[in-house]
Amino acid sequence: MGSRSRSAASHSSVAPLRRRASSLLLRGLAYAGAAVTVLTLGSLVVFVLVNGVPHLTPSLFSGEYTAQNVSLVPALAGSLLMAGAALLLAVPVGVGAAVYLVEYARRGSRFVAFVRVTAETLQGIPSIIYGLFGMLLFVSALGWGLSLASGACTLALMVLPVIMRTAEEALLAVPDAYRQGGFGLGAGRLRTVARCVLPSAAPGILAGVVLALGRCLGEVAALLFTAGTVAQIPDFGGSGALGLLDSCRTLAVHLYVLVGEGLHLDEAYATAVVLLALVAGLNALASAAAKKMRKGSAL
């Protein structure tokens, strides 16, 4: 140590050279890391597009699923219904829980720490465990069978911790000055949270919702046990709300089944293209919304 610092002092030209070399190395590693990331994603997307786009035939969107024509329309509808229903359940509960933890609970209370650890643990549990739990609770115990309702509730449980934790972080990032300003004008906690705190946390909360949406659209394991694989649009027209108890498959499940059967690999690639487009489209929509919100709140 002593000798090194002496050499650095006496041979002042050596140290910068060494520093430059190590800085070059680090920069190289950073570029390499970025390149690997981009190339992986890029080649994946290109692979799917090359194999899938030629098979995006009109018959794939024909509405009726048959053994000969594996239409993806029921699965597309299933994805939207499943993800929509899951978020409808999970977002209010997750954001509500986050609001409670940040705004109402005593700061630094044991209960808050406990809930936080629980949520983090839940985030790390493999989705198939959620599937198993959903099967035992919703499918069997509650008697909902393999259905949209069972699947959506299972997904909701799965993404609840994601939504809650991101919403909590977003609320914690809101400066206390907004709260003080609200309280200082005689506003109650509800009004202060609703009008001063939540609007500035909204973009962060939305980011968590997008993350959750992605997990809903990509989930297979948990749904195989809870929603089944019937390729039909739940029959809300004929049986009203009872359509919730119809089994349905999402695009991801559809893809899994097609590949598993091995008879329609081309259509499986085409399905992957649609799933990719759906996720990309919804993400773009969400980030546009977040941008609009930020503009409203920061410019």
Region of 145 on the Ramachandran plot (φ > 0 left; ψ -120 to 50 alpha; else beta): left
List own/partner pairs for 232-238 with CB under 8 A and 24 or more apart: 232/65, 232/74, 233/73, 233/74, 233/77, 233/78, 234/78, 234/81, 234/148
Q: Which of residues 97 and 196 has its CB atom nearest to another protein in the complex? A: 196
Q: Minimum distance between the CB of residue 285 and another protein, rounded to whole angstroms?
A: 23
Q: Minimum distance between the CB of residue 170 and another protein, rounded to whole angstroms?
A: 13
Q: Which of residues 45 and 105 has its CB atom nearest to another protein in the complex? A: 105
How far is it, in rounded angstroms, from Cα 86 to Cα 275?
18
Q: Which of residues 184 and 281 has its CB atom nearest to another protein in the complex? A: 184
Q: Which of residues 86 and 202 has its CB atom nearest to another protein in the complex? A: 202
Q: Which of residues 116 and 189 has its CB atom nearest to another protein in the complex? A: 189
Summarize as ranges the residues that interact with another protein (CB under 8 A): 106-108, 175, 177-188, 191, 195-196, 199-200, 296-299
Q: Which of residues 245 and 289 has its CB atom nearest to another protein in the complex? A: 289
Q: Which of residues 28 and 181 has its CB atom nearest to another protein in the complex? A: 181
Q: Minimum distance between the CB of residue 191 and another protein, rounded to whole angstroms?
A: 6
DSSP of the chain: -HHHHHHHHH-TTHHHHHHHHHHHHHHHHHHHHHHHHHHHHHHHHHHHHHHHGGG--GGGGSS---SSS--SHHHHHHHHHHHHHHHHHHHHHHHHHHHIIIIISPTT-HHHHHHHHHHHHHHHS-HHHHHHHHIIIIIIIS---SSHHHHHHHHHHHHHHHHHHHHHHHHHTS-HHHHHHHHHTT--HHHIIIIIIHHHHHHHHHHHHHHHHHHHHH--HHHHHHT----S---HHHHGGGGGGS----HHHHHHHHHHH-S-HHHHHHHHHHHHHHHHHHHHHHHHHHHHHHHHHH-
Q: Minimum distance between the CB of residue 291 and another protein, rounded to whole angstroms?
A: 15
Q: Minimum distance between the CB of residue 283 and another protein, rounded to whole angstroms?
A: 24
Q: Which of residues 178 and 236 has its CB atom nearest to another protein in the complex? A: 178
Q: Minimum distance between the CB of residue 67 and another protein, rounded to whole angstroms?
A: 56
Q: Minimum distance between the CB of residue 275 and another protein, rounded to whole angstroms?
A: 36
Note whether 228 and 146 are within 8 A (CB).
yes
Q: Minimum distance between the CB of residue 266 and another protein, rounded to whole angstroms?
A: 51
